[in-house]
């Protein structure tokens, strides 16, 4: 059984990222390396929230980002997920933006995703927030996904360590 990975908005965004700053280049390269060589080892899922976020704005590679995830199954929404989002906001787990981070975490938790893959290290892949998230999810009887970056999911063997 493959582990399920929730693909959050920053993953397709960084795959098509073209800014020349070193940190942007590194994230793009790690994202592409994971996507091109490792994603087949997982069951990928995403959500309509990711598609809607990618459709916003007028960035030049929007169509490419959307195409990248076009064949990935979408997790269904439910009233229970909306209630989870409300708890996250009320408990200060996530900022008061129900279309954003709280919704991604609620979807990944409710649908038992093993990983929530993201470059959002402020609100999601943040070790300082993990215990709070795990506590709140435990109180609600929810699974807590590992919130991680593509770099952390890359498999290196032998002498090929980064």
pLDDT digits (tens, 9 = 90+) for 116-155: 999 998 889 899 899 999 999 999 999 999 999 999 999 8
pTM to 2 decimal places: 0.93
Buried b / exposed e along 126-149 (16+ C-beta atoms within 10 A): eeebeeebeebbeebebebbbbbb
Distance (Å) of CA 53 to CA 37, 49, 133, 138 = 25, 6, 23, 28
Nearest to 116 by CA among 39, 10, 6: 6
Both tokens of residue 66? 């959307």
Flag whether 29 is in a domain: yes
Domain span holding position 65? 3-153
Q: What is the pLDDT of residues 16-48, one digit of tens each?
A: 999 999 999 999 999 999 999 999 999 999 999
- CA distances 67 to 16, 72, 92, Å, are 11, 10, 34
Would 162 be classed as within a structural domain?
no
| Number of domains forming the structure of the chain | 1
Q: What is the predicted pLDDT for the residue at 27?
A: 97
* Contact by Cβ (8 Å): 124, 102: no
With respect to residue 160, please indicate whether it lies within any of the assigned structural domains: no
Residue 3 sits at φ, ψ, to 5 deg, of -75, 140
Does residue 161 sit within a domain?
no
Q: How far apart are CA 142 and CA 78, in angstroms?
A: 15
Average pLDDT, the chain: 93
Question: Tens of pLDDT along 80-93?
Answer: 999 999 999 999 98
How confident is the model at residue 158, as a pLDDT?
56
In a domain, 66, yes or no: yes
Residue 161: exposed, middle, or buried by beta-carbon count in 10 A (0-12, 13-18, 19+)? Answer: exposed
Give me 16's structure tokens. 């098509």
Residue 48: inside a domain: yes
Decide if 70 is inside a domain: yes
pLDDT tens by residue, 96-113: 765 689 999 999 999 999
Task: Indicate whether 132 belongs to any domain.
Answer: yes
Report the CATH number that the domain containing residue 47 is assigned in CATH.
Answer: 3.40.50.1010
């Amino acid at each position: 059984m493959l582990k399920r990975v929730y693909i959050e908005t920053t993953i397709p965004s960084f795959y098509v990222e073209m800014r020349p700053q070193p940190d942007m280049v590194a994230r793009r390269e790690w994202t592409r390396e994971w996507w091109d060589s490792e994603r087949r080892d997982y069951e990928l899922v995403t959500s309509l929230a990711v598609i809607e976020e990618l459709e916003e704005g007028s960035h030049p590679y929007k169509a490419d980002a959307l195409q990248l995830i076009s064949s990935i199954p979408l997790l269904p929404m439910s009233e229970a997920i909306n209630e989870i989002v409300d708890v996250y906001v009320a408990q200060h787990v996530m900022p008061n933006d129900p279309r954003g981070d709280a919704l991604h975490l609620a979807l990944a938790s409710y649908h038992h995703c093993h990983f929530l893959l993201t470059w959002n290290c402020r609100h999601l892949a943040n070790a300082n927030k993990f215990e709070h998230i795990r506590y709140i999810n435990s109180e609600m009887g929810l699974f807590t996904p590992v919130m991680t970056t593509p770099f952390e999911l890359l498999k290196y063997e032998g002498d090929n360590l980064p």
